[in-house]
């Protein structure tokens, strides 16, 4: 994800390296649970990170998925995906350009993959557009985890998985309505059920 100027407007663009808006599923089946290991390498303030996690969990709940956050000291309990918040200096070590704000990658140590959020860029976008840092961080984590669950080519024309957030997307953000499309939500639920069936 990167920030770029288009006709004078700041937009948010997502970058990915990986092998209709959401309505909650109309079924009585219990929500599947996705276990996400959260790693705060950027040393984000605990209260900001806590609210960002609430934002991410809210988006997934609307898609019919519960998120359980796993702290590093609980790693022995197992997890399905990993979310890592990095600072600007740490981004360069991943080989990412300075305009990238988040990325999803498959990694040998985490079979489900790792979603990275780059905190400096998140802060910049939030400041420029008048959002709280925690809301944008939560959205970025939700987007990048979405790539891991939906697979390659999962950017969409509408909703949370748009490559760039601008215009109408920003309006939806203000009302907490930037979510997965209904088709994406169904695919996310399928993938989470498969992950939980083979959990480690």
Looking at the predicted structure, is the pLDDT value of residue 9 above 50?
A: no
Query: pLDDT tens, 134-190?
Result: 999 999 999 999 999 999 889 999 999 999 899 999 999 999 999 999 999 999 999
Q: Report d(CA 19, CA 105) in Å as an integer.
A: 8
Q: Model's pTM, two decimal places? A: 0.83
Exposed, middle or buried, 166 (CB in 10 Å: 0-12/13-18/19+)? middle
pLDDT, position 75: 87
Mean pLDDT (the chain, rounded)? 84
pLDDT surpassing 50 at residue 90: yes
In this prediction, residues 35-50 reach a mean pLDDT of 97
Q: Measured in whole angstroms, how far is the alpha carbon of residue 194 from the centre of its chain?
A: 19
Least confident of 6-10, 20-24, 92-96, 196-200: 6-10
Side by side, the strands of the sheet bearing 81-86 are: 66-70, 33-40, 81-86, 110-118, 102-107
The domain covering 2-18+28-195 belongs, at the CATH homologous superfamily level, to: Collagenase (Catalytic Domain) (3.40.390.10)
Estimate the crossing angle of helix 182-197 against helix 133-150, to 10 degrees.
70
- CA-to-CA distance for 134 and 122, rounded, in angstroms? 9
Domain locations in the chain? 2-18+28-195
Q: In sequence order, what are the residues at sequence separation of 6 or more whose Cβ sits closer than 8 angstroms to the Cβ of residue 140?
A: 1, 101, 102, 117, 122
Residues 4-25 as b or e (16 or more Cβ within 10 Å = b): eeeeeebbbbbbbbbeebbeeb
């Amino acid at each position: 994800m990167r920030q770029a100027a288009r006709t004078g407007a700041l937009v948010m663009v997502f970058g990915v390296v990986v092998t209709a808006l959401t309505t909650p599923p109309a079924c009585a089946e219990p929500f599947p649970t996705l276990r996400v290991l959260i790693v705060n390498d950027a040393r984000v303030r605990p209260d900001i990170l806590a609210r960002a996690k609430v934002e991410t969990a809210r988006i997934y709940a609307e898609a019919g998925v519960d998120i359980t956050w796993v702290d590093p000291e609980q790693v022995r309990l197992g997890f399905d995906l990993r979310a890592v918040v990095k600072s600007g200096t740490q981004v360069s070590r991943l080989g990412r350009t300075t305009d990238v704000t988040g990325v999803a990658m498959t990694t040998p140590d985490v079979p489900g993959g790792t979603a990275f959020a780059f905190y400096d860029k998140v802060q910049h976008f939030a400041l420029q557009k008048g959002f709280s840092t925690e809301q944008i961080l939560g959205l970025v984590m939700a987007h990048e985890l979405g790539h891991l669950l939906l697979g390659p080519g999962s950017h969409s024309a509408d909703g949370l998985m748009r490559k760039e957030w601008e215009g109408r997307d920003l309006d939806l953000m203000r009302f907490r309505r930037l979510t997965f499309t209904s088709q994406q939500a169904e695919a996310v639920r399928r993938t989470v059920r498969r992950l939980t069936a083979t959990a480690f």
